Amino acid sequence: MMNVKVAVTLLVASLATTTYAQNHTVPEFINCGPDILVDDFSVHRTGALPGETVIRDLNLLGADYGKSEANLTYTINTEGKYVEIVAGPNAPPNNNFFFSKFDAGACYDLTHIAAVAYDLVAPVGSTFTMTLTQKSENCTIRVPGNSDSDYVPITKYVTPNGQKQSVVVPFADFKKNLAGGAFDFVHLKDWTLTSFVPEGARFQISNLRLIRDCGDNGPLGKNTTVPAGGSTPVPTTTGAPKATGTNGGTTGGNQQQQQTSNAGKLYGAAGIGLGTLLFGALAML
């Protein structure tokens, strides 16, 4: 007869496995395949993430946008098909950040994604930096400490000139984290743009997409060719975002609330209730 300690251990392991499986997004590997369209900004989509009630701005992948609590603002302009970010005072701890996730669970596998690409309109003399934030291996929390990738300036790719410019940012440029170790591309939390300057500058981002690995030129590949992108992606929505006719940025809920609601979402999505698992464990005693 199985003892209580073993039964509980199996229960905890089962819950952890369920959480990881439901919260981790691995895009289909298609070598040199079509780009994955994150957002064309033709519609302002809002809705709650699974298991939550907070209304957020969502992209075509069903993931949310967010920003620093103060200073920076953003507006989704459906007529112009872009998101406009307006820089506020660039002072810690806010640092004028804006982020996009690529899946509702904020745990996305970039192994076979070569780059993020978008069109940018930014004034002469302006700048910002980009980084990747890290999710834990079990997809439950953001990894603390210096787990963010290196911060890379936009000027590595283009010099803002007030005109529309095409930007391709290889994820291979983010291989290291701030602690000097390897960034874990299997568990991405979000793509973050930060330190927008000068104050009051307006940045327009459109045609946001992910470029697939082509000939092993992903972030961990041996091919260092700069990704060029595949065929034009077709807009498709994932999840259940609600389309609205209004514009304007919103700020997401706090991290603790997100983690708690994610946990409830995951167990429910798997069709496994805690009571059911406990009953099964006790039945083995």
Q: Using pLDDT thresholds of 50, 70 and 90, give the confidence band for residue 159.
A: very high
Amino acid 230: pLDDT: 57
Amino acid 92: pLDDT: 78
- Residue in 192, 202, 36 with CA at minimum distance from that of residue 100: 192
Regarding predicted confidence, which is higher, 130 or 21?
Answer: 130
Amino acid 56: pLDDT: 97
Mean pLDDT, the chain, rounded, equals 80
Amino acid 252: pLDDT: 35
Give the strands of the sheet with 44-47, arranged side by side. Answer: 56-58, 44-47, 242-244
Summarised one tens digit per residue, pLDDT across range 23-35 is 899 999 999 999 9
* Burial class (CB within 10 angstroms; exposed 0-12, middle 13-18, buried 19+) of 269: middle
**Mean pLDDT calculated for residue range 186-197:** 97
Please give the domain boundaries of the chain with CATH numbers for all domains.
29-252 (2.60.120.430)
Regarding predicted confidence, which is higher, 48 or 248?
Answer: 48
Q: Are 72 and 96 in contact (CB under 8 A)?
A: yes
Amino acid 22: pLDDT: 65
List the single range of 66-75, 104-113, 170-179 with lowest mean pLDDT: 66-75
Regarding predicted confidence, which is higher, 53 or 233?
Answer: 53
